[in-house]
Amino acid sequence: MTLTRKMTHVTAGLAGAVFLAGALSAQARELSVSTVLSDAFPWGQAAEKWADLVEERSEGELTLRVYPNSQLVSGDQTREFSAMRSGLIDAAVGSTINWSPQVPELNLFSLPFLLPDEAAVDAVTGGAAGEQVFAAIESRGVVPLAWGENGFRQLSNSRGPVDEPGDLDGLKIRVVGSPLFQDTFSALDADPTQMSWTDAQPALTTGAVDGQENPLSVFDVARIDQVGQEYLTLWNYMNDPLIFAVNQSVWQSLSEEHQTLLRETAEEAGAWEIAMTREEESERLAAIQERGVTVTKLTDDQYQRFVDATQSVYEKWVPRIGEGLVEDAREAVESR
């Protein structure tokens, strides 16, 4: 072979290698995943678990980059669903509370005292009501893949034990930016005050706000007892399921293989996070009590008094959520 021909073969080989590397690079795809909390919390750990499973099983062809602390929406967690629907965010592990302004059906989970225990949550998310909720999300340009769990939201305050509705009379309670939360605490004669968590912490410290409501995982990891919250009531007044989801256009652009991979890994990550969150509840509660927090557990009669006191909320919100959906959820809870 002449020198000229050898050089031609070498050049062609290099060009082929560069083309192959470029083709492989073009096949690799990264999707952005938004989440409100970091991996210090189970919520953030759910997103990281999803990303790890996808990277491992796609062998690098598909990766998920997690952006915690709502940084893709400048800290405004209520904008997350809209940003995902419009394509500014590829995917998210999001809260039913935060997405409810855009998907009214998600207010189902915020109805006070609808879901008394974990079995009730599973019956609703795993049944006809859960299917209707997923259909409502998909009709708005987002593909839901799996459930996770932020947990039951419990009540804390700096004034004293709360074991009946009258104990909330006049207490300023920090709530999330949802009208349903405003209505619930107003029905209990409290003074609901909507503010971001960034604003809530100094307000709790100074006593400008008396109390707040959050899952035990948040109370524990964020050390909410250190901002004057000395009294905690376990009342399971609402549960906040998490949802793994992907923008519809992004979903349709993926191969069938990658769609299956995303769904299966989301389901696995969700099941893992739900189990972990529930298993850690007793340990977290013990740690909170060891730090000097007074914990009140409601009796059945005390619980029922709160249920009765918030019935007006149902009259207002069931038509907005959908009577059929709420009825399916109630049937699931009763048959659990």
Q: What is the pLDDT of residues 47-56, one digit of tens each?
A: 999 999 999 9
DSSP 8-class letter at 335: T
Q: What does the pLDDT read at residue 22?
A: 42
Q: Which two tokens stand for residue 320?
A: 């907005």
CATH number of 30-334: 3.40.190.170
- 283 C-beta neighbours (distance < 10 Å), count: 11
Q: Positive or negative, the Cα torsion across 155, 187, 125, 119?
A: positive
**pLDDT above 70 coverage of the chain, percent:** 92
157 closest CA partner among 109, 192, 112: 192
Region 254-258 average pLDDT: 97
Q: What does the pLDDT read at residue 50?
A: 98
Tell me: pLDDT of 18 over 50: no
Q: What does the pLDDT read at residue 20?
A: 40
Q: What is the 3-state secondary structure (H, E, C) of 101-139?
A: CCCHHHHHHHCCCCCCCHHHHHHHHCCHHHHHHHHHHHC
For residue 111, name the pLDDT band (cuts at 50, 70, 90).
Answer: very high
Domain boundaries, the chain: 30-334
Residue 334 to residues 124, 149, 309, Cα–Cα distance (Å) = 10, 21, 20
**N residues, the chain:** 336
- How many angstroms from the chain centroid is the CA of residue 225? 23
For residue 64, the one-letter residue type is L
Q: Could you report the per-residue pLDDT of 43-86, keeping only the tens digit for each?
A: 999 999 999 999 999 999 999 999 999 999 999 999 999 999 99
For residue 28, name the pLDDT band (cuts at 50, 70, 90).
Answer: confident
CB burial of 218-244 (b: ≥16 within 10 Å; e: otherwise) equals bbbbbebbebbbebbbbbbbbbbbbbb
